[in-house]
Amino acid sequence: MQSDEVVWQIINHGHCSYKIKEEQAPTFCRNAYNVTGLCNRSSCPLANSNYSTILEQNGILFLCLKSVERAHTPAAMWQLVRLNENYDEAFHQVSKALEYWPKFLVHKNKQRLTKITQYLIRGRNLAKNTK
């Protein structure tokens, strides 16, 4: 069984290839699955057995879920759930899928969904106006 606290202690005090540390700035994380972009215990996808994030691939939004039950198969550790193109329905899908998850992850995933949806809309508008 994986112990999240042991993994975090190794990552935080040892070496993490995703960590970006600069003077006078917070520590950032380059991991694609990190929901906040900051390197801390609650938002580290490596140090949490249960984790979720929103990813965009070619204009399609996915809710990525990582659970303890999938830890024995690293290739299939992340479950991808395709989100609806309609923002309200996608927001409801995220709320329903993360109903019993920690409030921090639910809030950050909803923020990420909003941010990615807004930049996709801006990109579509720019593409339409430049023709």
pLDDT at 69 over 60: yes
How does pLDDT run across 77-117, given as a tens digit for each residue?
999 999 999 999 999 999 999 999 999 999 999 999 999 99
Number of domains in the chain: 2
Give the pLDDT confidence score for residue 2 in this predicted structure.
61
Question: In angstroms, how far is the first alpha carbon of the chain from the final one?
Answer: 55
Cβ atoms of 39 and 32 within 8 Å: the answer is: no
Q: Are residues 23 and 57 in the same domain?
A: no
Q: Are residues 44 and 56 in the same domain?
A: no
Q: Is residue 56 assigned to a domain?
A: yes
Residue numbers of the domain that contains 18: 1-48
Cβ atoms of 84 and 94 within 8 Å: the answer is: no
Q: Is residue 121 assigned to a domain?
A: yes
Give the pLDDT confidence score for residue 21 in this predicted structure.
84
Q: Is residue 98 assigned to a domain?
A: yes
pLDDT band for position 1 (50/70/90)?
Answer: very low
Cβ atoms of 31 and 88 within 8 Å: the answer is: no
Q: Is residue 91 assigned to a domain?
A: yes
Q: Are residues 85 and 121 in the same domain?
A: yes
pLDDT at 24 over 90: no
pLDDT (mean) for 112-130: 93
